[in-house]
Amino acid sequence: MAKIVVKFGGTSVGSVEKIISVAKILKKKFLKGDKIIAVVSAMAGKTNELIKHSEQISKNFNKRELDVLLASGEQVTSALLAGALNNLGIKSKSFMGWQIPILTSGEHNNSRIINMNIDKVNNFLTNKGIAIIPGFQGISEQGDITTIGRGGSDATAVAIAKIFKTDFCEIYTDVEGVYSTDPRYFPKAKKINKISYEEMLEMSSLGAKVMQSSAVQTAMIYDLPLHVRSTFSNKEGTKIFGPESIDYNKVITGVTYSKDDAKVTLLDVQDKPGVAADIFEPLGKNSINVDMVIQNISPDGKKTDLTFTLKRNDLNKAIKLIKSNKKKVKYKSISSDKKVSKVSIVGAGMITTPGVTYKMFRSLAQEKINILAISTSEIKISVIINEKQTNKAVKKLHSVFNLD
């Protein structure tokens, strides 16, 4: 008998019919003797619908009230799933984040889970019930409902698995596992049977939508096995775990991409100690994450051109902050480009395989794709390119690195 967390994403619970199907999946697991905590997302499209409602009132809708509004999506799913299980003759109960409670810290709309009480839920599991918990939310030390960012149901599931000391955590979604690239748009993508935390973390942070990167990071820190599988198929899916799953013979595991990036360039910035900190400090204080940074020094060493990338939604805000800081940061001009995308290759095998960088850049050059920025780590290489060339780049790299 295992104690497990099972998480269902928005597409898995996208209708009442699908919620009933999920209840049947949980019933099968329960009849095998497992103790089950199910974490659910809002029904597909519901969060976007709620955001639109808030925007109809104000583009600057109060963040506290936005959390209250958005948290309702997962609460609806929780009640429907618990009701469906009870209707199937299985004892079930929904536990809201404030009832457990799930404690969070940080600002509204972007909090993080720091702890939770396990007694109520454990007692319910001991008394032969399936506990249903809404993902994506918790309660602050001030007693306010908080949310933990888009895709936060994954983070909730992994946090619960860690704190409740479950045997493993299953993530159910609308695809049959983790793929070498997005199977919806690239038919030659193939399913990965097992992948390391490190590779999955890179892929999720670089654009792969199967799992939230912070959830993978938490699982990696606590060595918590994850299993990604489809709600609509009985196939095995993808297992995510520690270094033992790394296949160093496979140079590249996957090709990821994101189309929500933008690029900012400052020309002729005065080159002196602390100038980069002066540029990026106000961005950080306003919760704007900077990704790639490229600096070109002039021959005389007095000026530098500085380019960085960030999420497209933050572009206008970032430019305003930089312009308002011109007394502190001297530069000639500022330009931006929001029609860019980030394409990345990920694979633990590149650590021991020379020539991967050359092979990637040569392949893109053959397709006449210009590289605007580059970022690397031990197991990934990312480039910024023109957004229109994204599909061409992904197809080429997928083929060149034998992933088709």
Q: Output the six-digit token pair for 369.
A: 């794709």
Q: Answer yes or no: do 15 and 120 share one domain.
A: yes
Query: What's the pLDDT score for residue 150?
Result: 73
Give the domain range for residue 378.
255-400
CATH number where 49 lies: 3.40.1160.10
Q: Answer yes or no: do 261 and 169 share one domain.
A: no
| Three-state SS letters, the chain | CCEEEEEECCCCCCCHHHHHHHHHHHHHHHHCCCEEEEEECCCCCHHHHHHHHHHHHCCCCCHHHHHHHHHHHHHHHHHHHHHHHHHCCCCEEECCCCCCCEEEECCCCCCEEEEECCHHHHHHHHCCCEEEEECCEEECCCCCEEECCCCHHHHHHHHHHHHCCCCEEEEEECCCCEECCCCCCCCCCCEECEEEHHHHHHHHHCCCCCCCHHHHHHHHHCCCCEEEEECCCCCCCEEEECHHHCCCCCCCCEEEEEEEEEEEEEEEEECCCCHHHHHHHHHHHCCCCEEEEEEEECCCCCEEEEEEEEEHHHHHHHHHHHHHCCCCCCCCEEEEEEEEEEEEEECHHHHCCCCHHHHHHHHHHHCCCCCCEEEEECCEEEEEEEHHHHHHHHHHHHHHCCCC
Query: What's the pLDDT score for residue 328?
Result: 84
Of the residues 121, 141, 174, the one at which a domain ends: 174
Residue at 181 is within a domain: no
Give pLDDT tens digits for 353-369: 889 999 999 999 999 99
246 contacts: CB under 8 Å, gap ≥ 6: 196, 198, 199, 348
Of the residues 174, 206, 232, the one at which a domain ends: 174
Q: Answer yes or no: do 163 and 286 share one domain.
A: no
Q: Answer yes or no: do 10 and 137 share one domain.
A: yes
* Dihedral sign for Cα atoms in the order 224, 230, 233, 236: negative
Q: Answer yes or no: do 18 and 157 share one domain.
A: yes
Q: Answer yes or no: do 167 and 259 share one domain.
A: no
Q: Answer yes or no: do 23 and 150 share one domain.
A: yes
Query: What's the pLDDT score for residue 16?
Result: 97
pTM: 0.80
CATH number where 279 lies: 3.30.2130.10
Distances (CA, A) of 356 to 345, 348, 396: 10, 12, 14
Residue at 188 is within a domain: no
Number of domains making up the chain? 2
What are the residues facing 293 on neighbouring strands?
308
Which residue is listed with tokens 């702890």?
115
Q: Answer yes or no: do 19 and 150 share one domain.
A: yes
Residue at 304 is within a domain: yes
Q: How many CA atoms lie within 13 Å of 113's alpha carbon, on the beta-carbon side?
A: 28
Query: What's the pLDDT score for residue 35?
Result: 96
* Nearest by Cα to 289 from 314, 255, 257: 314
Residue at 219 is within a domain: no
Q: Answer yes or no: do 160 and 267 share one domain.
A: no
User: Cα–Cα distance between 148 and 71 in angstroms, integer?
Assistant: 10
Residue at 248 is within a domain: no
Which stretches in the chain have pLDDT values below 50? none
Give pLDDT tens digits for 110-160: 899 999 999 999 999 999 999 999 999 999 999 999 999 877 899 999 999
Of the residues 174, 191, 207, the one at which a domain ends: 174
Residue at 334 is within a domain: yes
Residue at 249 is within a domain: no
Query: What's the pLDDT score for residue 208?
Result: 66
Residue at 206 is within a domain: no
Query: What's the pLDDT score for residue 207?
Result: 63
